[in-house]
Amino acid sequence: MSEAPGPLQKTPLHPLHAELGGRLVPFAGYEMPVQYPTGIVAEHQHTRNAAGLFDVSHMGQIRLTAKTGENAAAVLETLVPGDIQGLVPGRMRYTQFTNEKGGILDDLMVANTGDHLMLVVNASCKTDDAAHLRKHLADRVEIEELFSRGLIALQGPQAADVLGRFAPQCRAMPFMTAAFLTIDGITCYVTRSGYTGEDGYEISMPGEAAVAIARELLRYPEVKPIGLGARDSLRLEAGLCLHGNDIDETTTPVEAGLNWSIAKRRREQGGFIGADVIQRQFREGAPRKLVGIKPEGRAPVRAHAEIRSRDGAAIGMITSGGFGPTANGPVAMGYVTEGHAATGTALQVIVRDKALDCAVAPLPFVKHRYFRG
């Protein structure tokens, strides 16, 4: 996706990152913390064992409100394959913007607040996503970019206990629900999901309130600041796709194993961009599939490494890879041809011109611990 030229942008939490000793790096046009002084592995393990606080304010928040006589959910369904009309107030859903070839322009969360839809899209795509919405939907819905708002994620097994001290109602919220809650005197929009595989929340608030709310959460010893490095290792262990790596304009939801995000009604009725391609893949199968890869030994493999069958034929490529601290070994994901996608299939991956043995592994590498009520 294209990004506007110019200096790196800063999230509302930027002063706090610097104060906490965050190592700041360019990411999606922003200056973001990749880690704090304790290091990526310690941050990863802290999130798995207690609660990690992530700045995700660089992501794009967009509000859709129906114009008179329109249904915002039905209108949005012309651009995404998810069942948005079936989303009752207080619920959220994962879906994708697709192109004419069924490829994924971006993946996003959609929440129904009761009187409008709230979208959260990826940082590197948010300007293009807003333009895509305006091109196709501007005559039927009001499209409001909320890019100045703050957004933080509180993730881990102690997240509910910590946030519950400010907003007790959050404890009863099941996975993939949303509500307006008051935190430190500020009205926030809170969703319960998570890009780590752990239980947790995303908290949207006015940008000017972000530092104060983050400070309040960090007062508790259960909560530590977490950077992009641990965010990536956590989501990889959880088998969750990263846009630009595991999914992009050349990959379809079926190839990416996201069939679960497309309800039966949408599979049958279509009505979204690229539906003919995606429906055909549901009927006939996709030519390739995103799978988990477990290398033998301790050496991690990285994105763009070639995957081969054991007889040496090129069959795919690694899209994400690294060392999994909780999995206690190297883990990766990548696309392979359909005939090599079965769990346990013996493969090879090429690292520094050497063939390393690996096998197709079930996803996730670390079991999800979402709270489902």
The label of the residue with tokens 């206990």 reads 161
DSSP state of 266: H
CA torsion through residues 202, 208, 209, 210, sign: positive
CATH topology of domain 58-126+252-285: Alpha-Beta Plaits (3.30.70)
The label of the residue with tokens 């279509």 reads 270
Supply the pLDDT for residue 19.
98
Q: What is the pLDDT along the chain (373 residues), one digit of tens a residue?
A: 344 457 999 999 999 999 999 999 999 999 999 999 999 999 999 999 999 999 999 999 999 999 999 999 999 999 999 999 999 999 999 999 999 999 999 999 999 999 999 999 999 999 999 999 999 999 999 999 999 999 999 999 999 999 999 999 999 999 999 999 999 999 999 999 999 999 999 999 999 999 999 999 999 999 999 999 999 999 999 999 999 999 999 999 999 999 999 999 999 999 999 999 999 999 999 999 999 999 999 999 999 999 999 999 999 999 999 999 999 999 999 999 999 999 999 999 999 999 999 999 999 999 999 999 9
CA–CA distance from 12 to each of 9, 49, 118, 149, 187 (Å)?
10, 27, 20, 8, 17
Q: Where in the chain is the domain with CATH 2.40.30.110?
A: 287-361
In the CATH scheme, what is the code of domain 287-361?
A: 2.40.30.110
Rounded distance between C-alpha atoms, residue 253 and residue 302, angstroms: 22
Supply the pLDDT for residue 5.
54
CATH label, 14-57+149-237, candidates 1.20.1260.10, 3.40.50.300, 3.40.1190.20, 3.30.1360.120: 3.30.1360.120
Tokens found for residue 54? 């992530």
What is the helix (H) or strand (E) element at residue 162, kind and residue range?
helix 159-164
Q: Which residues of 100-139 are buried (b: 16+ CB within 10 A; e: fewer)?
A: eebbbbbbbbbbbbeebbbbbbbbbbbbbbbebbeebbee
Longest dimension (CA), the chain: 63
Supply the pLDDT for residue 1.
38
- Cβ(77)–Cβ(84) below 8 Å: yes
Residues 6+ apart with CB under 8 A from 185: none
Supply the pLDDT for residue 243.
98
Q: Where in the chain is the domain with CATH 3.30.1360.120?
A: 14-57+149-237
